Amino acid sequence: MVKRISLILIGIASLFLLGFGNVSALSFGYMASSSNPDIIVPAVQGPSVQSNLKNRAKTAWPWYVTRASGIVAAVLLFMLIVSGVGLITGYTFKFLEPLNAWAAHRAMGLAFFVALIIHGGSLLFDTYIKFNVAQIFLPFLSNYRTTTLFHHPVGSLYVALGIIAFYFVLAIVLSSLFWINKKPYQWKSLHFLAYLVFIFVFIHALYIGTDFAHGIFRVLWIIFGITTALLIIYRLSRARSI
């Protein structure tokens, strides 16, 4: 059920990213011609819009899936942090019954994990960037958008942060599946990695995320980051309650 919801969300986001540019261009052209009937729009020779979309889908679908799953993962991570803090403080229970609240948090966590797998796995099929299996699973092997830190080269740091965040999420998911009843204190302590996950994912998306590079998505992502940072600070101030 969780995987199905994740795939549906990613599919909707992919279709939006794939067709938005073409639909916007068509809408603009239609409004321009309809507002002034004296304007004659010449017929353009070449493949149809449907043909262009079909060709683009065949060649660029991994890139769109990667972007869509990244957006889904970012939104789910923000929701996870908010709901997690709400569970600890008890605010969530004002809106949901405790069992339903915990079930929703768990479902979002699994959906987030699935989105991460799709996000990284789809890069293996991309013919433009060309990641291999080792570069997907091992930090600093990729040459994609290398950078420097204090004037020293650090390789593809932003890709590495995403890979490290994935392993932190894997540890959290496994502990939630096997330790939640047997080792509750260790399970709760390990959940503090979620805050590092957000920091790493925030930097990862901010510097190499195509849709977070500019515009409204970047502004929203920064707002999400500031909000989450305040929630994390508030949660850490109550750290003795774990």
Residue-level pLDDT at 24: 40
Tell me the C-alpha distance between 179 and 44, whole Å.
Answer: 63
Distance CA 118, CA 194 (A): 19
What string of pLDDT tens digits covers the 242 residues of the chain?
544 555 555 555 554 454 444 444 433 343 444 445 555 555 556 566 666 666 666 678 888 999 999 999 999 999 999 998 888 888 888 888 888 998 999 999 999 999 999 999 999 998 888 899 999 999 999 988 888 888 888 889 999 999 999 999 999 999 988 888 888 888 888 888 999 999 999 999 999 988 888 889 899 999 999 999 998 888 888 765 54
The whole-number pLDDT of residue 116 equals: 95
Q: What pLDDT does residue 56 have?
A: 63
**What is the structure's pLDDT at 164?**
96
The neighbouring-strand residues paired with 152 are 149
pLDDT value for 45: 62
- Which positions ≥6 away from 76 have C-beta within 8 Å? 108, 111, 112, 115
38 burial class (0-12, 13-18, 19+ CB within 10 angstroms)? Answer: exposed
pLDDT of residue 119: 95
DSSP string, the chain: -HHHHHHHHHHHHHHHHHHHHHHHHHHHHHHHHHH-TT---PPPPS--HHHHHHHHHHHHHHHHHHHHHHHHHHHHHHHHHHHHHHHHHSGGGGTS-HHHHHHHHHHHHHHHHHHHHHHHHGGGG-TTT---HHHHHSTT---TT-EEETTEEEESHHHHHHHHHHHHHHHHHHHHHHTTTT-HHHHHHHTTHHHHHHHHHHHHHHHH-GGGSSHHHHHHHHHHHHHHHHHHHHHHTTGGG-
Ordered by start, the domain boundaries in the chain are 2-241
The model carries a pTM of 0.74
